[in-house]
Structure 1
Amino acid sequence: MRLQTLLRAVFPPECLCCGARVDRDFALCGPCWRETPFIFGAACDLCGVGLPGQTDGDEVLVCDDCHGVARPWGHGRAVLHYADNGRKLVLGLKHADRAEVARAAGPWLARAGADLLAADPLIVPIPLHWRRLATRRFNQAALLAKAFASVSGRDWLADALIRPRHTVSQDGRDREGRFANLDAAIRAHPRHVARLAGRRVLLIDDVMTSGATFSAAAQACLRAGADGVDVIALARVARDG
């Protein structure tokens, strides 16, 4: 008996959400897939949030939030709404050491960001400050970037950006407070400025709420000479109402 077959017999693949048996690793069972808020169809071109109605694929749609605040990036995509199973998956990755969520997300990100990959971007994760990295032991955005790059065949750079200033949690802050908290908190790593210069960059993070973190990171890339920036998040927090 092959080792892989033996391992599957002893440890059969389980659904990422409910633990039910599935036929392959890093997968959702049928009921959990149907209950996971994937973003399909009409979506904002700047932040990826799902929008009501349908689109023919050629129309550029922009949500109310993105009409109200300048975005220093060209296009934005998201895989999931940050609700229900979408929230459960993100929190599992971020706080429960569930790296398998990132492995599963690789193909999802490649689907959601397929049109952004045409520019052969450098995939760059949102950085963590060293204190938070030491506490968490890993950067969830870097795990997503690695999985995304592996599936899409694009280059990625784990430490293209650094976070030299420690910032307090964004939880409970309004939009203005979130942007102020991230002001000048992210910059290009001095060793990698040349890798960013003249290159299209695709920033990735686990969640987009106000977009403040993506804005700080995009501005850092542009200051380093990036040719342009796009963004993609595993989950997008939608404004109530």
Structure 2
Amino acid sequence: MALKHAFAPLVDLIYPPRCPLCGDAIAAQEGLCTDCWSTLEIPPREDGVTAATLYNDTARRLVLNFKHGRKIALAGMMARQIAARLPELDGEWLAVPVPLHRVRLWQRGYNQSALIAGELCKHGHTTLLVDGLLRPKRTPSLGGLGRAERAKVLQGAITVNPARRERIASAQILLVDDVLTSGATSKACRAALKQAGARKVHVACFSRVLDHQG
């Protein structure tokens, strides 16, 4: 970390910091310009779920740049926003990312939720368990499906890694994702973790789609 800060002025000289959304000059490599920051909205709090932002147009563009535009440096900024909204975490917690199927992981090259989880652990209270959950079944997009259809598609799609079952049993889990939409995927993850004996599961995500947003 000290080495990273030591080289920061040189990096800024060679690659002047720019807002990843609009391209305007900014003070540091990680972050947004003031105008783009002002368009992010904070969602209401809910027991068991922490979302840094409401899924509006700005959040959507950030997520798409991060997930499909390979702007993986955004993971740090997203993690900071989540950490700022998290309630106080008592005791030890394991940060477990929502898993990707191996084909999707190979196509994308990284699991965006795992990158956020890793950055989130730098803020304390959590230890990364990157392979706590597995996704042995490849699933199609859940968009446009009803609640019952989503549950059917996800049946058996997410399981606890047998090699990590002992660590998950009785543990407090921070389930990390980039976006919480219908909640079907996080529900399947929760069910798998609870079945393995997890004592508590709290969902932490960068952005959330509220029910009235469709």
TM-score (norm 1): 0.81
2:182 is aligned with 1:210: yes
Which position in structure 2 is the counterpart of 1:66? none
Separation (CA, whole Å) in 1 of partners of 2:7 and 2:152: 53
2:104 is aligned with 1:99: no
2:66 is aligned with 1:108: no
Computed over aligned residues only, the root mean square deviation of the Cα atoms, in angstroms, reads 1.6
Query: Contact between 2:92 and 2:125, CA under 8 Å: does it hold in 1?
Result: no
2:21 is aligned with 1:17: yes
Which amino acid counterpart does residue 104 of structure 1 have in structure 2? Answer: M
Q: How far does residue 237 in structure 1 lie from its aligned partner after superposition?
A: 0.8
Query: Contact between 1:127 and 1:161, CA under 8 Å: does it hold in 2?
Result: yes
Residue segments in structure 1 that go unaligned for 5+ positions in a row: 47-74
Which amino acid counterpart does residue 27 of structure 2 have in structure 1? Answer: D
Separation (CA, whole Å) in 2 of partners of 1:230 and 1:206: 14
Report 1:25-40 matches (<5 A).
25-39=29-43
2:12 is aligned with 1:8: yes
Separation (CA, whole Å) in 2 of partners of 1:192 and 1:222: 13
Which amino acid counterpart does residue 128 of structure 2 have in structure 1? Answer: W
Q: How far does residue 45 in structure 1 lie from its aligned partner after superposition?
A: 1.5
Residue segments in structure 2 that go unaligned for 5+ positions in a row: 1-5
Separation (CA, whole Å) in 1 of partners of 2:125 and 2:73: 19
Q: How far does residue 171 in structure 1 lie from its aligned partner after superposition?
A: 2.0
- Which stretches of structure 1, 4 residues or longer, exceed 6 Å deviation after superposition? none
Q: How far does residue 16 in structure 1 lie from its aligned partner after superposition?
A: 2.6
Which amino acid counterpart does residue 94 of structure 1 have in structure 2? Answer: K
- Identity score, percent: 34
Query: Contact between 2:175 and 2:203, CA under 8 Å: does it hold in 1?
Result: yes
Q: How far does residue 235 in structure 1 lie from its aligned partner after superposition?
A: 0.8
Report 1:23-172 matches (<5 A).
23-39=27-43, 43-46=44-47, 75-115=48-88, 117-172=89-144
Q: Secondary structure at the match of 1:155?
A: strand
Deviates more, 1:4-13 or 1:106-115: 4-13
The total of aligned residue pairs comes to 208
